[in-house]
Amino acid sequence: MKVDVLLGLQWGDEGKGKVVDVLTPKYDVVARFQGGPNAGHTLEFNGEKYVLRSIPSGIFQGGKINVIGNGVVLDPLLFKQEAEALAASGHDITRQLYISKKAHLILPTHRILDAAYEAAKGAGKIGTTGKGIGPTYTDKVSRNGIRVGDLLHNFEEKYAAAKAKHEAILRALNYSYDITELEAQWLDALNYLKRFHLIDSEHIVNHLLDEGKAILAEGAQGTMLDIDFGSYPFVTSSNTICAGCCVGLGVAPRRVGEVYGIFKAYCTRVGSGPFPTELHDETGDLIGERGHEFGAVTGRKRRCGWIDLVALKYAVMINGVTQLIMMKSDVLDTFETIKACVAYKVNGEETTEFPFEINDQVEPIYVELPGWQTDLTHMLSEDEFPEEFNAYLSFLEDELGVPIKIVSVGPDRKQTIIRYTE
For the annotated catalytic residues, the residue numbers are: 13, 41
Residue 129's binding partner out of Mg ion, ligand GDP, ligand IMO, none, with CB under 5 to 8 Å set by partner kind: ligand IMO
From 129, 136, 201, 408, residue interacting with ligand IMO (rule: CB under 6 A): 129
From 38, 66, 136, 277, residue interacting with ligand IMO (rule: CB under 6 A): 38
Residue 291 in contact with Mg ion, rule: CB under 5 A: no
Q: How many residues belong to the site for ligand IMO (CB under 6 A)? A: 24
Which residue type does 107 have? L
From the CB of 236, what's the least distance to Mg ion, in Å?
12
Look at residues 30, 36, 5, 65 and name the one whose alpha carbon lies nearest to residue 246.
5
Binding string, 198-237, against ligand IMO, x = CB under 6 A?
Answer: ----------------------xxx--x----------xx
From 96, 128, 223, 319, residue interacting with ligand IMO (rule: CB under 6 A): 128
Calpha distance 241→34 (Å, rounded): 9
Calpha distance 58→24 (Å, rounded): 6
Residue 12 in contact with ligand IMO, rule: CB under 6 A: yes
Strand partners, 263: 326
Cβ–Cβ under 8 Å, residues 337 and 369: yes
For residue 371, how many other CB atoms are within 10 A of its CB? 17
Residue 149 in contact with ligand IMO, rule: CB under 6 A: no
The DSSP string of 279-300 is: --SHHHHHHHHHTT-B-TTT-P
Binding string, 237-266, against ligand IMO, x = CB under 6 A?
Answer: x-----------------------------
From the CB of 10, what's the least distance to ligand GDP, in Å?
9
> Which residues, 29 to 48, sit near Mg ion by CB under 5 A?
40
Look at residues 227, 318, 232 and name the one whose alpha carbon lies nearest to residue 273.
232
Segment lying near ligand GDP (by CB under 6 A), choices 39-47, 116-124, 173-181, 315-323: 39-47
Binding string, 73-112, against ligand GDP, x = CB under 6 A?
Answer: ----------------------------------------
| Sheet architecture: strand order including 416-418 | 197-199, 97-100, 65-68, 29-32, 215-218, 3-8, 256-264, 323-327, 404-408, 416-418
From the CB of 382, what's the least distance to ligand IMO, in Å?
26
3-state helix, strand, coil in the chain (%, to 5): 35, 25, 40
By CB atoms closer than 10 A (0-12, 13-18, 19+), residue 203 is exposed
Segment (H or E) for 395: helix 387-400
Look at residues 10, 1, 2, 32 and name the one whose alpha carbon lies nearest to residue 261.
10
Residue 74's binding partner out of ligand IMO, ligand GDP, Mg ion, none, with CB under 5 to 8 Å set by partner kind: none
Torsion of CA 288, 290, 296, 302, to 10 degrees: -10
Calpha distance 57→179 (Å, rounded): 31
**Which residue is nearest to ligand IMO, using beta carbons?**
271
Calpha distance 422→407 (Å, rounded): 13
Residue 326's binding partner out of ligand GDP, Mg ion, ligand IMO, none, with CB under 5 to 8 Å set by partner kind: none
From 86, 331, 402, 406, residue interacting with ligand GDP (rule: CB under 6 A): 331
Residue 40 in contact with ligand GDP, rule: CB under 6 A: yes
Residue 274 in contact with ligand IMO, rule: CB under 6 A: no
Segment lying near ligand IMO (by CB under 6 A), choices 33-41, 142-150, 187-195, 383-391: 33-41
Q: Enumerate binding residues for ligand IMO (CB under 6 A).
A: 8, 11-13, 35, 38-41, 126-129, 131, 133-134, 220-222, 225, 236-237, 270-271
